[in-house]
Amino acid sequence: MDQEDKNTSALSNRMAVPGETRKRQDYLEWSEYFMAVAFLSAQRSKDPSSQVGACIVNQENKIVGIGYNGMPNGCDDDLLPWARAADDRLNTKYPYVCHAEMNAIMNKNSADVKGCTMYIALFPCNECAKLIIQSGIKDVVYLSDKYHSTPEMEASRRLLDLARIPYRQFQPKRNKIVIDFESIGLCAQRECNGGCTPAVNGDSAETQNKD
């Protein structure tokens, strides 16, 4: 539990009235929340083998950038390859795909991301490490380091170490975070029996990178 949450919990314990309804205790901690946002963002990826998301957070715990891996804007992803291996490297996804870290930095909704923390599902490769360093991100929180021994990851660690950017592995306290759209109640379909006015045009605006 974050220190702020601990202090708030201790204060509420001292002020609690017997029999009073109290706040729930199993809410997401900040780090869990931001990593979960990264994982939810990854569900937008069309990559058939690796879906990766990234979430950038400032010092006030405000999200300032989200991204996932995909093809560049304006490039028809039906005309580009998604394969991991082929006789010709140009027929693989690697020369074309934009990683989640790049898209999160490019999609920022603030003037810059200096001093921010990046939450990412996979340890960043050397190319993304360069972007992280150049953008001024101050530290990296990752979940998986499954490509640890590859040259790209070794180069990434070397770059981050030289730039004095700390990186740490996220230690989840729970294995799953379930999103249940029915938990809050589906008013229009269940309670109002058609009496509620449906939303105009069910489409919602997206601030993510291209499909």
The two structure tokens encoding residue 171: 């230690």
For residue 108, give its domain range.
Answer: 30-176
Q: Is the pLDDT of residue 169 over 80?
A: yes
Residue 22: inside a domain: no
Q: Which residues are catalytically annotated? A: 101
Residue 172: inside a domain: yes
Residue 87: inside a domain: yes
What's the domain count of the chain?
A: 1
Residue 108: inside a domain: yes
**Which tops the pLDDT comparison, 8 or 98?**
98
* pLDDT tens-digit map of 124-143: 999 999 999 999 999 999 99
> Is pTM, for the whole model, over 0.85?
no
Average pLDDT over residues 92-117: 97
DSSP single-letter state for residue 89: G
d(CA 138, CA 175): 27
Residue 76: inside a domain: yes
* pLDDT tens-digit map of 57-90: 999 999 999 999 999 999 999 999 999 999 999 9
CATH number of the domain enclosing 145? 3.40.140.10
Nearest to 61 by CA among 129, 144, 1, 117: 117
DSSP-assigned beta bridge partners for residue 54:
67, 120
Residue 115: inside a domain: yes
d(CA 11, CA 13): 5
The two structure tokens encoding residue 138: 């101050």
The two structure tokens encoding residue 139: 């530290």
User: pLDDT tier at 208 (50, 70, 90 boundaries)?
Assistant: very low
**Which tops the pLDDT comparison, 169 or 27?**
169
Residue 81: inside a domain: yes
Residue 82: inside a domain: yes
